[in-house]
């Protein structure tokens, strides 16, 4: 526990002057892999959202076959188009937040490259 009155960030947890316990936050990461593209690492929450969106069950291991790639790409492209339309119609002074569509772009690129080369996308293996 820090006694200086400021927050300290350390390995394995966060300690602050007003805390009496040490908080350890663990988050699963998805590591998507394809022989057609570099590895893509994504936080669990975003990975779960994208997998559900494209019709896959989130979990620690999985595979997107080459046959599933066109449908997944189409869904992600639709998400991008919807996000652009919503963004252009709702110009506000609110702070910019990273949308799911923006987070999905590297994943979509990976899927497109994998489809082009006829390679599946896997995670957790």
The pTM assigned to this predicted structure is 0.75
> Over 80: is that where the pLDDT of 91 sits?
no
What pLDDT shows up at residue 10?
A: 42
29-34: strand order across its sheet: 37-43, 29-34, 121-123, 62-64
Higher pLDDT: 13 or 46? It is 46
Q: What are phi and psi of 111, to 5 degrees?
A: -65, -40
The angle at the Cα of 75, spanning 70 to 35, to the nearest 5 degrees, equals: 45
The residues spanned by each domain of the chain are 29-123
> Over 80: is that where the pLDDT of 49 sits?
yes
Average model confidence (pLDDT) for the chain?
84
> Over 70: is that where the pLDDT of 11 sits?
no
Of the listed ranges 43-47, 80-84, 101-105, the least confidently predicted one is 80-84
> Over 60: is that where the pLDDT of 5 sits?
no
């Amino acid at each position: 526990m820090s006694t200086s009155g400021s927050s300290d960030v350390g390995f394995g947890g966060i300690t602050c002057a007003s805390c009496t316990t040490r908080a350890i936050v663990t988050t699963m990461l998805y590591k998507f892999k394809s022989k057609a593209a570099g590895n893509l690492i994504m936080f669990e929450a975003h990975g779960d959202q994208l997998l559900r969106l494209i019709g896959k069950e989130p979990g620690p291991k999985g595979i997107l076959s080459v046959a599933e790639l066109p449908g997944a790409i189409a869904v992600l492209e639709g998400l991008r188009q919807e996000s652009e339309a919503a963004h252009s119609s709702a110009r506000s002074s609110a702070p910019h937040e990273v949308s799911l569509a923006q987070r999905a772009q590297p994943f979509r690129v990976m899927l497109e490259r994998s489809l082009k080369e006829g390679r599946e996308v896997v995670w957790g293996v």
